[in-house]
Amino acid sequence: MIKYKTREEIELLRKSNQFVSETLAELAKHIKPGVTTKRLDQIAESFIRDHGAVPGFLGYRGFPATLCTSVNSVVVHGFPSSYELREGDIISIDCGVVMNGYYGDSAYTFPVGPISDEVYQLLKATRESLFKGIEQALEGHRIGDIGWAVQNHAESHGFSVVREMVGHGLGKSLHEDPEVPNYGRRGTGTKLMNGLVICIEPMINLGTKGVRQEKDGWTIRTLDGKPSAHYELAVAIDKNAADVLTSFRKIEETVRIFD
Ligand code: MG
Ligand code: MG
């Protein structure tokens, strides 16, 4: 069942989601060779609590950390650990918070120092595919329009779309209806109406689309061991343009990644 949001609720969701982007911008300063993913998690948890918010993932269905830190072939849901980032790695950081009872949820994939051109192209196309999806997040369109736009962009660059994990509605719960796949057919699926708030979060692989879950019950890795990228923003459905509640602006003012 979809829970449509009032204007007041959308403003609360904007606060939560903007705060997540501030947290990711803070983390951007610390992403360099030698830093452990556990250290990034500690920085995020302190930053969130110091600002009076609560980590949204910690304890969610038993998840053990504030961040999902997913390096290279890990698609999503990686555990922070003693792993030290190395030059040439990519790391997707997915962060959730709760403020005033409403969730914020956003993810960004960062390069660690210089990366290969093909991996750079993967990041660029994945980020672009998110914005192609957002262009379709308009009143009267359908969920399938978003998935189609993401898939079309990613595949036209020779990359593949993960099917097993999808975007979602967002509100007082981290994962609400509807599901928001990153693939699909135009004109199909739930109709988008004013008051709907969704996270669009393409997970795009350099190689094949297949993934597997590790024995820890969380970590999702590409089947072929090739890298995967992930970007996520929350949007409220509106008439002429989606109301994007999160922003990558602060992250991208902190670290310059794309031309
Ligand atoms: Mg997320
Ligand atoms: Mg999400």
Q: For the segment 48-78, what is each residue's pLDDT rounded down to a tens digit?
A: 999 999 999 999 999 999 999 999 999 999 9
pLDDT in tens, 239-254: 999 999 999 999 999 9
pLDDT in tens, 217-232: 999 999 999 999 999 9
Q: Band of the pLDDT at 205, cuts 50, 70, 90?
A: very high
**Structural domain contains residue 216:** yes
**Structural domain contains residue 1:** no
Query: What percent of the chain shows pLDDT beyond 90?
Result: 100
Q: How far is the CA of 32 from the centre of ligand 2 (A)?
A: 25
Q: How far is the CA of 107 from the centre of ligand 1 (A)?
A: 5
Q: How high is the pLDDT of residue 259?
A: 82
Distance CA 88, CA 29 (A): 17
**Structural domain contains residue 168:** yes
Tell me the β-bridge partners of 167. 180
For residue 246, give its domain range.
7-254
Q: Band of the pLDDT at 173, cuts 50, 70, 90?
A: very high
Q: How far is the CA of 132 from the centre of ligand 2 (A)?
A: 17
**Structural domain contains residue 126:** yes
**Structural domain contains residue 73:** yes
Per DSSP, the residues of 33-78 read TT-BHHHHHHHHHHHHHHTT-EESSTTGGG--SSEEEEETTEEE-P
Assign residue 219 the CATH number of its domain.
3.90.230.10
**Structural domain contains residue 112:** yes
Ligand 2 is a single-atom ion; what residues have CB below 5 A from it? 105, 199
Q: Which pTM value belongs to this model?
A: 0.98
**Structural domain contains residue 144:** yes
Instruction: Give the end-to-end CA distance of the chain in Å, rounded to a whole number.
Output: 41
Phi/psi-derived region of residue 52, left when phi > 0, alpha when psi is between -120 and 50, beta in every other case: left
Q: How far is the CA of 105 from the centre of ligand 2 (A)?
A: 6
Q: In the numeric block, which tokens belong to residue 242?
A: 């989606």
Domain count, the chain: 1
Q: Band of the pLDDT at 41, cuts 50, 70, 90?
A: very high
**Structural domain contains residue 259:** no
